[in-house]
Structure 1
Amino acid sequence: MRESDPQKLDALVGRLVGDVGACVTGSLIVLGDQLGLYKAMADGKAVTAAELASRTGLKERYVREWLSAQAAAEYIDYDEGSDSFSLSPEQAMAFAEESSPAFFAGAFEVVQSMWVDEPKVEEAFRSGAGLGWHEHSNCLFRGTERFFRPGYNTNLVSSWIPALDGVKAKLEAGAVVADVGCGHGASTILMAQAYPKSRFYAFDYHGPSIETGREAADKAGVGDRIVFERASAKDFPAASYDLVAMFDCLHDMGDPVGAGRHVRETLAQGGTWMIVEPFAHDNLKQNLNPVGRIFYGASTMICTPASLSQEVGLGLGAQAGEMRLRKVALDAGFTRFRRATETPFNMVFEVRA
């Protein structure tokens, strides 16, 4: 056994204690979200465990233990004098307010799916066969929509689309748009709400997601402007689209180049392919940071197995970077590729023939 440095070992153990605490707390976040505990505290008023239990119809002993764990994580504030708990405005934005740009509870449903589906991914490591998106637990589909929606709410209409040359004006005048890999339709619904003169088509190969998206669009009052249809990125119907959008899904595809070729064939003259992908630098060293840690982890458990389960199985991964994404677009026959804008979590690319 090699000799270890006691100080480095202590530092590593300290980080591991923090990580174990984060993992344990993650399950409690999902629990509190599902039980409505955060939303019951969203007004910021201090409550005792008994009051919160009464408000939610839950059992006090369980509620007190959950509150104590959340207070230890500093996700809920505790006042010793009144033995009460409360959510600060910032905590409420993160855990209780789904319309908030900082809403994070959905992210922990994605993490939940990683734990639940770990045996399936383990087998994929051994066989190399991959694991299809549709083979994951339902919490992944729900969590993905809830995780990405706040970013789309904040950026899609206000900054991402305006960063594309001439696209906003087309949408305002009335354009034909395809949202490929739409999932539960959060991005499609936002665009349909913002651009009532345009017509939208939402495609995903996952049938249950299409059904959920259709229901969400009807609830949002835009069901008459969106056609939801089950189709893959390589066979969705052509309709001379002014805009084809792919939100955080190109890297999941087994044959992104083939998907790009199909996009090129379906675009109207002067049309735009908008690619939104997780933020990443082109080299591994620059991605070794907290955001990269999340994306590499999700890529290991979800994105790369999904790609490797399909034909070609290019396996771009969630940290593909601009250079590799540019190559995909050029190999698909496009000639113009530029980074239109970015956030700490996403890169937005404008691609044209």
Structure 2
Amino acid sequence: MTNTTSTIDLARVEAFAGQVSADLTHAYHSISVHLGDRLGLWRSLADLGSATSAELAERSGLAPRYVHEWLCVQAAAGYVVLDASSDGGIDTFTLPAEHAMVLADDDSPAAIVAGFEVAAAVWASVDQLAHAYTTGDGIPWHAHDSRLFTGVERFYGTIYRTSLLAEWVPAVDGLSERLTAGIDVLDVGCGLGVPTILLAEAFPKSRFVGVDTHAESVERATAAAIAAGVSDRVEFRVASADDYDGSHDAIVFFDALHDFGDPVAALAHARASLRPGGQVIAVEPFAHDTLADNLTNPVALLFYSGSSYLCVPHSIADGETSLGAQAGPGRLLDAFRAAGLPTARVAATAANLLLEAGV
């Protein structure tokens, strides 16, 4: 370090130390947010509306002293509102209905608490990440803590329930009409099958297959299809992005294309597996084509963090190409065209990029 104290801007040091201190505070608080989700505290408090720590402990079946301290943390964070007793009695805590939509209800369009479950899984993989950063090795999806699988299902499930049927399907030329009439659809990198099942529920005349290399995810997706009552038209199988068989009318990639070690090969196999008039469709995280432009996105830190902990390590484990979660439309369209899909276009942009190409 060559700087001396005479050249250091102490006001800048103080400001940056304050920023890092705030980040550290949020890191500590994230543990309690995840505990509240895991132990049902958010849901219990949402059901009660307002409660003392003893009432919340009784409702959730947890130890009163711990519940009281947890509520103090949430009051300090502004996640709950303290209704302080004016006569020195017992404090009551309120979870506003607006906060409950974010923290206590996975079916809410504002639900985001599952992201803390994903973060817990990443913390459990820190030693693996340190090794990977040192050696250049990858970390395959199955090697992560199992909370990653359920956390991703819940977190992305909110996005799929909000956007899939209302925004993405209508944005792809003729897709809604074809699904209504009945076609064969393949979901590559299906994970726990949330969007596949949503499509099957909405379009009962169509047939769906999901493939994934992670056997546990395939098993869970199969169970979810049975629970949803769509197993007569949905099947999940273990297969990779470039070795599944069969022919299909539409092949979809939901937040998966950038995770593959060879996305061009995945797209080329999709093209070869399409029937005449078929479509390849990919949903990817929203991004621009340059880092400078991506940094203007208010959630850039979230996107790049997830990419560096999960997407890039998996793609390195899977092959030689590593697009990352912020590849941008230019590189993604290049991959489509290199795979023999010259008509590829960006069909929609919002929180996600929707790309499609026909054959």
Q: Per the shorter chain, which TM-score range? A: over 0.9
Are 2:287 and 2:329, in contact at CA under 8 Å, matched by a contact in 1? yes
Runs of 5+ in structure 1 lacking a partner?
none
Give 1:102 deviation, angstroms.
1.1
Whether 2:87 is the aligned partner of 1:79: answer no
Q: Who is 2:203 aligned against?
A: 195
Structure 2 portions without partners, runs of 5+: none
Is 1:352 the counterpart of 2:340? The answer is: no
**Percent of aligned pairs sharing the same letter:** 43
In the alignment, does 2:238 pair up with 1:225? no
Deviation at 1:297, TM superposition (A): 0.7
State how far apart, in whole Å, the 2-side matches of 1:338 and 1:281 are.
15
Report what 1:238 is aligned to: 246
Deviation (angstroms), 1:77: 1.7
Letter in 2 for 1:92: A
Q: Is the 8 A contact 1:40 1:56 kept in 2?
A: yes
For residues 351 and 18 of structure 1, what CA distance do their matches in structure 2 show?
Answer: 45
Secondary structure of the residue aligned to 2:204 is: coil
Structure 2 distance, partners of 1:56, 1:162, is 42
Alignment partner of 2:170: what SS?
coil
Amino acid at match of 1:188: T
Q: Distance in 2 between matches of 1:77 and 1:50?
A: 16
Which of these residues, 234, 255, 267, is aligned with residue 260 of structure 1?
A: 267
Residue identity in the other structure for 2:17: V
Secondary structure in structure 1 of the residue aligned to 2:17: helix
Report the counterpart of residue 103 of structure 2 in structure 1: 95
Partner residue of 1:150? 158
Q: Structure 1 residue 352: deviation in Å?
A: 2.0
Letter in 1 for 2:302: I
The structure 1 segments of at least 4 consecutive aligned residues displaced by more than 4 Å after TM superposition are none
Contact 1:44/1:89 (8 A) holds in 2: no
Q: Distance in 1 between matches of 2:314 and 2:131?
A: 13
Q: 1:125 aligns with which of 133, 140, 157?
A: 133
Structure 1 position 328 matched with structure 2 position 332: no
Structural RMSD (CA): 1.1
Which letter does structure 2 place at the counterpart of 1:238? G
Shift of 1:44: 5.7
Distance, in Å, in 1 between the alignment partners of 2:160 and 2:315 is 24
Cα distance in structure 2, aligned partners of 1:27 and 1:70: 11
Give 1:273's aligned residue: 280
Q: 1:314 aligns with which of 313, 321, 332?
A: 321
State the alpha-carbon separation in 2 of the partners of residues 10 and 352 from structure 1: 55
8 Å CA contact 1:280–1:322 kept in 2: the answer is yes
Amino acid at match of 1:227: E
Does the C-alpha gap of structure 1 residues 164 and 44 become closer, same or farther in structure 2, counting only changes over 3 Å? Answer: farther
Kept after mapping to 2: 8 A contact 1:274/1:348: yes
CA contact (8 A) 1:238 1:265 kept: no
CA drift at 1:79: 1.1
* Amino acid aligned to 1:247: F
| 1:29 counterpart residue number | 33
Select between 226-235 and 4-13 the one with higher mean Cα deviation. 4-13
User: Contact 2:183 / 2:205 at 8 angstroms: preserved in 1?
Assistant: yes
| Kept in 2: contact 1:213–1:228 (CA 8 A) | yes
What's the TM-score once normalised by structure 2's chain length?
Answer: 0.95
The structure 2 residue matched to 1:67, chosen from 39, 64, 71, is 71
**Residue matched to 1:56:** 60
Structure 2 residue aligned with 1:109, among 109, 117, 122? 117
**Superposed displacement of residue 309, structure 1:** 1.0
Indicate yes or no: 2:344 matched with 1:337: yes
Separation (CA, whole Å) in 2 of partners of 1:172 and 1:16: 52
**Contact 1:180/1:202 (CA < 8 Å) preserved in 2?**
yes
What is the alpha-carbon distance in structure 2 between the residues aligned to residue 275 and residue 76 of structure 1?
39
Task: Tell me the residue number matched to 1:292.
Answer: 300
The one-letter amino acid paired with 2:45 is M
Q: Which amino acid aligns with 1:330?
A: R
Aligned residue-pair number: 350
Q: Distance in 2 between matches of 1:78 and 1:237?
A: 58
